[in-house]
């Protein structure tokens, strides 16, 4: 088990009052260092342009990487490009690529990428919803193209639908995308009838759904579908904003629900993927809940490992 992170990921600063703030990552990394003193930490490398171009177009790379920025610049009402943003975005995407290489080379079985900005809203051509590059999609595409995998799954339990990840893979049968998310809620996608080429599985949840509804949807619908796909590598878009204390949404999960789901996912990864899992931080906006849930998630990821 290894954690990938980089100090540059705290230097992407969308400005005062923004929910997706540098202190989020401080909360996560402090929590993990405190609870897991023996865990292996590695600095994330930068993603290369070639790795990013597997899922994004040239214009988005130029916007994020080549725009001269001397102060915060709004790309949309939620998404900001600031002086530290391009380096943070490169490290966040690079973490996933390095984690894929490490698990595929057998150095480790599991990795958690403690990075920001998050990624799952970024589409092939647009940064949006706090996201600049789609970190998990860059990693999944790397697993397919570089390591020749033909079945990888991206499981997304962030409270928002990962419209970007879905848009990137909805015609690519090598990648299954499974998501539970609140609806209605930003970005207003993720209806159950959005099925891609049979590789997209959406489970929208009404506001105020709690642990029982969440666990039932995963137990009855999403986990069996994932299991029958038999992924060779399992990715997790680990957003913790469905927690009951999160200010941006109205799903009422307890911290323990994240441990429960992570355990279920580990069992599937052990059955089909030789235990290989790459998890990446997405959302989570109550600092204490975010810290607590990250610790619970990583504790469950570590179980059964030496
Ligand atoms: Zn979210």
pLDDT at 141: 99
Looking at residue 222, the DSSP 8-state letter turns out to be I
pLDDT, tens only, 45-91: 999 999 999 999 999 999 999 999 999 999 999 999 999 999 999 99
Provide the pLDDT confidence category of residue 159 given band limits of 50, 70 and 90.
very high
pLDDT at 306: 47
Helix axes 85-104, 135-145, angle to 10 degrees: 40
Q: What is the mean pLDDT of the chain?
A: 97
Domain 2-302 in this protein, CATH class: alpha beta
How far is Cα 22 from Cα 285, in angstroms, rounded to an integer?
11
Intra-chain end-to-end CA distance of the chain, in Å: 9
Instruction: Tell me the average pLDDT across 233-251.
Output: 98
Would residue 160 show up in a list of annotated catalytic residues for this protein? no
Q: Which residues pair with 110 in a beta bridge?
A: 277
- pLDDT exceeds 70 at position 304: no
| 159 C-alpha to ligand 1 centroid (Å) | 5
- Please state the domain extents for the chain: 2-302
The one catalytic residue in 12, 56, 120, 121 is 121
pLDDT, tens only, 187-200: 999 999 999 999 99
| 239 C-alpha to ligand 1 centroid (Å) | 6
pLDDT at 305: 66
| 306 C-alpha to ligand 1 centroid (Å) | 32
| 148 C-alpha to ligand 1 centroid (Å) | 30
Instruction: Tell me the average pLDDT across 247-267.
Output: 98
């Amino acid at each position: 088990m290894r954690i990938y992170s980089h100090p540059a990921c705290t230097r992407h600063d969308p400005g005062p009052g923004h929910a997706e703030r540098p202190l989020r990552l401080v909360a996560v990394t402090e929590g993990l260092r405190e609870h897991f003193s023996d865990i292996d930490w590695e600095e994330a490398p930068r993603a290369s342009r070639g790795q990013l171009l597997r899922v994004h177009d040239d214009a988005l790379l130029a916007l994020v990487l080549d725009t001269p920025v001397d102060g915060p610049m709004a790309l949309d009402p939620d998404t900001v490009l600031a002086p530290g943003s391009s380096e943070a975005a490169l490290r966040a995407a690079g973490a996933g690529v390095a984690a894929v290489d490490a698990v595929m080379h057998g150095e480790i079985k599991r990795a958690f990428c403690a990075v920001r900005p998050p990624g799952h809203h970024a589409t092939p051509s647009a940064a949006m919803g706090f996201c600049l590059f789609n970190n998990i999609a860059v990693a999944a595409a790397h697993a397919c193209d570089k390591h020749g995998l033909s079945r990888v799954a991206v499981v997304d339990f962030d409270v928002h639908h990962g419209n970007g990840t879905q848009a990137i893979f909805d015609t690519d049968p090598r990648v299954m995308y499974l998501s539970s998310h609140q609806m209605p809620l930003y970005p207003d996608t993720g209806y159950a009838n959005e099925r891609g080429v049979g590789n997209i599985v959406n489970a929208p949840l009404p506001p105020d759904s709690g642990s029982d509804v969440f666990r039932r949807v995963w137990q009855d619908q999403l986990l069996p579908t994932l299991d029958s796909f038999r992924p060779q590598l399992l990715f997790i878009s680990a957003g913790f904003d469905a927690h009951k204390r999160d200010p941006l949404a109205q799903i009422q999960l307890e911290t323990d629900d994240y441990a429960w789901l992570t355990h279920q996912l580990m069992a599937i990864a052990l059955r089909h993927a030789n235990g290989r899992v790459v998890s990446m931080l997405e959302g989570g906006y109550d600092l204490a809940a975010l810290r607590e849930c990250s610790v619970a998630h990583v504790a469950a990821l570590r179980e059964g490992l030496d």
